[in-house]
Structure formats: structure tokens, C-alpha cells
């Protein structure tokens, strides 16, 4: 079922009271918090949740901070929860997604910096490469504008389609020589489409729980991508010492070593 980003945001706000009761209240501003006040950071369970749990258990104490991972199950609720103040930061989205949220919701959330690239990729259980996709192949792509545009850009970079500048929907495709049939699907459901469809674009947040591996990848993003996920917070917390220390930890070599060992190239760390 097609669901626009706008409708997703509205639905998330309508349901947010349930999420907030589970999350509890975060620190409202830097003046109210000390280094002893835990940072509540929202994320999906994988990969950022695993990263934040590792930080909380192994790295945060060295920097004199406390980190609490707050789990979310979709892409639509972490930003409203951050804007409301029930969490202090989140780690699940790239800059374009954050910009889209701010525009649609009238928000002012800010990025602290890039943390990791969930190297989104086209996977297939039927074909070994994009070149092997047959004429009329059914290709599933995300139904949110930012990740949908991301999928189309990857196909254009691979030379299999051409798109208009800034295209975020299949109607922005200007050349499709093999007549691929594009199916717009909710992110969480994309891995399941691989049982029937020829290929699907899946972000690592959903590829890893679905146990997809590099063996099913037929085209993937690489270093230099603009889709690194960012640590986001509210403007009044951007210069909070706890946020700065968390950013330092998340871009450290210790964090990079953890990411590389655990996900073997499916997640790319940022240590710049």
C-alpha cells in the first residue's frame, strides 16, 4: 500500500502518545542536565540500537556520560518523539530524511554529524547482477520519498535507468530500456518481496534483521554516499556536552572496529 511521507508523519503524531508513555521524558535543555543525566537516544533495534547498546555498556563511562537506548520500530515516530522532548537525540536517518521531516512537520531538528552508512542495496534471490535482470523485471523500492529517490539514483548510477534531477518517484524515470516494473512498498516489508520479485532495494536497518547478506546484493552504495545516517537532536541540545561526547564516541576508532567486526561491510563507519 502506498503511504506518503506526509501521511506517515501525521499518523505518527496522532499515535505519539502511546510512544511517549513508553519512552518517558528526556532532558528538555542543556541547562537542566548534567553529565550524570542519561542521554535518551532513539533508534531502530538494528543497527543503531546495537551500536548504542555497545556504547552504553562499553564506551560511555570512559567519556563520563550515560547513554540510554530507546527502541523504535519504524521511521515515522523517532522525530516526533525527539521534537516533543521525550528523547534527547535519535540515530536512524540521513540528512535528506531529516530535511523532509522538518519541511513537512514544520520542525527544526538538527544534525550533529554523520555517524554511519547503512549501505542500502538492491538484493535479489533470483539473479546475480543488475545485468541479469530480465525485461519487465519486478523491482520493489521504498514508498517514502527520500529512500525511493535513493533507490532510483543507485539504478541511474549503475546505468540501467535515467531519471529527472531530484526524482523521488517512478514517474520521474525518463529512460527504462528494460521496462522494469517498479512496485512501491513499505520499508519493513521490502525483504519479504524477494520471495516473489526480481529485486528489492533494502536499507541495512531491515536487511540485517531479515538475514540478508552480501551474497544477495546485486548493487550497493559505497563510501562517498550522501546517505550516511546522522545523530540528530533539538537546537537547544546541539552544544550540550553530553551530545558532543556521544558524537565523539560514535565516530571513534573503537566504534568503527565494533561496526566492521559485527556487520562486515554492510554498515560503513564514519571516523572523520
Cα 116 off chain centre by:
9
> What span, in angstroms and rounded, lies between the C-alpha atoms of 42 and 127?
36
- Summarize pLDDT for 65-103 with one digit per residue, the tens: 999 999 999 989 999 999 999 999 999 999 989 999 999
Residues 6+ apart with CB under 8 A from 268: 116, 117, 119, 222, 223, 259
Cell numbers placing 143 = 514508498
- Summarize pLDDT for 15-42 with one digit per residue, the tens: 444 444 444 445 545 555 678 899 999 9
User: Exposed (0-12), middle (13-18) or buried (19+): which is 17, by Cβ within 10 Å?
Assistant: exposed
Average pLDDT, the chain: 89
Q: Helices 95-105 and 5-23 meet at what angle, rounded to 10?
A: 90
Choice among 21-35, 82-96, 115-129, 208-222 with the minimum mean pLDDT: 21-35
On the question of pLDDT at 3 being above 70, the answer is no
**Residue 189, number of CB atoms within 10 A of its CB:** 14
Q: What percent of the chain has pLDDT over 70?
A: 88
pLDDT at 20: 40
Domain 121-220: top CATH class: alpha beta
Q: What percent of the chain has pLDDT over 90?
A: 74
Q: Structural domain boundaries of the chain? A: 5-119+226-269, 121-220
| Nearest C-alpha neighbor of 84 from the set 41, 28, 22, 37 | 28
Strand 110-118 with 229-233, pairing? antiparallel
pLDDT at 264: 81
DSSP labels, 11-48: HHHHHHHHHHHHH-----SGGG--TTSPEEEEEEIIII
Side-chain-side CA neighbours of 43 within 13 Å: the count stands at: 26
Shared fold status for 5-119+226-269 and 121-220: yes
pLDDT at 30: 52
> What span, in angstroms and rounded, lies between the C-alpha atoms of 27 and 36?
11
Q: What is the pTM of this model?
A: 0.71
pLDDT at 210: 92
pLDDT at 204: 84
Q: Is domain 5-119+226-269 annotated with CATH 3.90.1300.10?
A: no
Amino acid at each position: 500500500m502506498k503511504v506518503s511521507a506526509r501521511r506517515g508523519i501525521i499518523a505518527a503524531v496522532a499515535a505519539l502518545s502511546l510512544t511517549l508513555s513508553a519512552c518517558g521524558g528526556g532532558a528538555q535543555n542543556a541547562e537542566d542536565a548534567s553529565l550524570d543525566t542519561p542521554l535518551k537516544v532513539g533508534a531502530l533495534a538494528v543497527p543503531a540500537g546495537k551500536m548504542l547498546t555497545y556504547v552504553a555498556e562499553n564506551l560511555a563511562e570512559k567519556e563520563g556520560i550515560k547513554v540510554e537506548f530507546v527502541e523504535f520500530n519504524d521511521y515515522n515516530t523517532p522525530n516526533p518523539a525527539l521534537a516533543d522532548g521525550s528523547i534527547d537525540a535519535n540515530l536512524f536517518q540521513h540528512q535528506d530524511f531529516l530535511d523532509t521531516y522538518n519541511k513537512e512537520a514544520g520542525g527544526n531538528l538538527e544534525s550533529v554529524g554523520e555517524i554511519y552508512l547503512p549501505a542500502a542495496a538492491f538484493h535479489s534471490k533470483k539473479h546475480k547482477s543488475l545485468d541479469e535482470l530480465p525485461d519487465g523485471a519486478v523491482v520493489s523500492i521504498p514508498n517514502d520519498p527520500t529512500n525511493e529517490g535513493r533507490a532510483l539514483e543507485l539504478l541511474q548510477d549503475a546505468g540501467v535507468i535515467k531519471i529527472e534531477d531530484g526524482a523521488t518517484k517512478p514517474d520521474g524515470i525518463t529512460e527504462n530500456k528494460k521496462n522494469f516494473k517498479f512496485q512501491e512498498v513499505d520499508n519493513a516489508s521490502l525483504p519479504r518481496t524477494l520471495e516473489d520479485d526480481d529485486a528489492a532495494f533494502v536499507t541495512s536497518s531491515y536487511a540485517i534483521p531479515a538475514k540478508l547478506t552480501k551474497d544477495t546484493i546485486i548493487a550497493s552504495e559505497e563510501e562517498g554516499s550522501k546517505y550516511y545516517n546522522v545523530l540528530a537532536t533539538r537546537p537547544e541540545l546541539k552544544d550540550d556536552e553530553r551530545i558532543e561526547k556521544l558524537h565523539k564516541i560514535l565516530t571513534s576508532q573503537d566504534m568503527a572496529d565494533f561496526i566492521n567486526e559485527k556487520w562486515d561491510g554492510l554498515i560503513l563507519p564514519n571516523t572523520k
